[in-house]
Amino acid sequence: MIKKIVFITGTRADYGKIKSLIDELEGDPKYEVYIFVTGMHLQKKYGYTYEEIASKNYSNLYTFINTKNESSMDITLASTIDGFSSYIKNVVNPDLIIVHGDRLEALACAIVGSFNNILVAHIEGGELSGTIDESIRHSISKLSHVHFVTSGKAKKRLLQLGENSKNIHIIGSPDIDLMISKNLPSLKDSIKRYQLPFNNYSLLLYHPVTSEIDKLSFHIQEIVQAINLSEENYIVIYPNNDSGSDLIINSFKKNFKTNSKIKIFPSLRFEHFLTLLKNSNFIIGNSSAGICEAPFYGIPTVNIGSRQNNRSSNKQIINVDHKKDKILKAIDQAKNLQIKKIIDFGSGGSSKKFVKVLNSGKVWSVNIQKFFNDLN
């Protein structure tokens, strides 16, 4: 019997994580693949990244606008629950719902799945961070029946949460499949596509931390001053659409508009982002790309603030707080840092491992009713 599988994507980041998995299943006669597209993908302010997904000509795409401007997270969560509930009841009755990471869209869809007795699989559970995102991620794991994790450490954390070891599968980070692909665009192509006036540059990607929103104005002021004073070339990418993103975007526009060394983009296509990251001098900000992807390429990271706290023990990541002078010092350090390629989140082949688990039948025999498993 053909299994119907729904993937959820609400951000450019989670699409990059699940893209290789979707591509592996699309066209497989054993599965019908559906993609529920929502969140910042459908906002012009963030580059309307739905177009990137649509360009792949997937068989079953569905869009749902879950937020307008900067709605509070609880309101957006409720809206997504309502929209996804309607989708699974009126459009497709899935055998499996696949969510990724720690975003509220994933939490909403995991709630809908578990409340409607539908199997939910969670990609990259068991990771840590320093924000509300960590609580969301662990909540999703508790609502999910099957787990595809990056490492043994992540598996151990899920076991501590009471999850069944038989339902936890280590596959690594799925985006590494794309990172090592021979089909990535060349640096020349990426520079041409985005009309970059330089080929020697670094990346800035900074997201709001919702639990520190009262400090955001000071934090972003210190960052933009440090960036301007560093006199380096930068590709600056808009943050995600959490509360506080408008403040960051407006600060970027105001403080960088006369700096010819800086180019600002709402978004970059994921493969082009990987090419630009791979060839950059360093990445600065608080994006998980500085924790996961950059070290894999051997690119230095200046990690600012608490957003990625506890995510990695990699000593080659330079951690600083929101002080202009400390950020400048870290930038100088990053420019001269020689680091080795770090493999903390797998080395590729995630999509093959993922499909192997699906084909084995292990997923389809998992009990819908979950039980807490005490550690021995």
CA distance 124 to 170: 9
Question: What's the CATH number of domain 187-335, 3.30.200.20, 3.40.50.2000, 3.30.9.10, 3.40.1440.10?
Answer: 3.40.50.2000
> Alpha-carbon distance 10 to 261, whole Å?
31
pLDDT tens digit at each of 376 positions of the chain = 999 999 999 999 999 999 999 999 998 999 999 999 999 999 999 999 999 999 999 999 999 999 876 678 999 999 999 999 999 999 999 999 999 999 999 999 999 999 999 999 999 999 998 788 999 999 999 999 999 999 999 999 999 999 999 999 999 999 999 999 999 999 999 999 999 999 999 999 999 998 899 999 999 999 999 999 999 999 999 999 988 999 999 999 999 999 999 999 999 999 999 999 999 999 999 999 999 999 999 999 999 999 988 777 677 799 999 999 999 999 999 998 888 888 888 889 999 999 999 999 999 999 999 999 999 7
Q: Identical fold at 3-180+347-365 and 187-335? A: yes
By C-alpha distance, which of 318, 314, 281 is closest to 303? 318
Cβ contacts of residue 303 below 8 Å, gap of 6+? 285, 286, 290, 291, 317, 318, 319, 320
Candidates 3.20.20.70, 3.30.930.10, 3.30.360.10, 3.40.50.2000; CATH matching 3-180+347-365: 3.40.50.2000
Alpha helical stretches, state H, 182-323: 187-193, 216-230, 245-256, 270-278, 293-297
Domain boundaries, given as residue ranges, for the chain = 3-180+347-365, 187-335
Per-residue three-class SS string for 116-164: CCCEEEEECCCCCCCCHHHHHHHHHHHHCCEEEECCHHHHHHHHHCCCC
Give the separation between CA 193 and CA 128, rounded to whole angstroms.
35
Q: Which tokens sit at 257? A: 């508009």
Calculate the average pLDDT of the chain.
Answer: 95
* Rounded Cα distance, 362 and 325, in Å: 53
- Interhelix angle 12-25/350-360, rounded to 10 degrees, is 60
pLDDT tens by residue, 124-173: 999 998 788 999 999 999 999 999 999 999 999 999 999 999 999 999 99
In this prediction, residue 35 carries a pLDDT of: 98
pLDDT at 129: 83
Whether pTM exceeds 0.85: yes
The pLDDT score that the predictor gives to residue 317 is 92
Token pair recorded at residue 334 = 């990053």
Please say whether the beta carbons of 151 and 176 come within 8 A: no
Rounded Cα distance between 196 and 277, Å, is 14
Q: For residue 181, how many other CB atoms are within 10 A of its CB? A: 12
The per-residue pLDDT for 343 is 83
Q: What is the pLDDT of residue 341?
A: 85
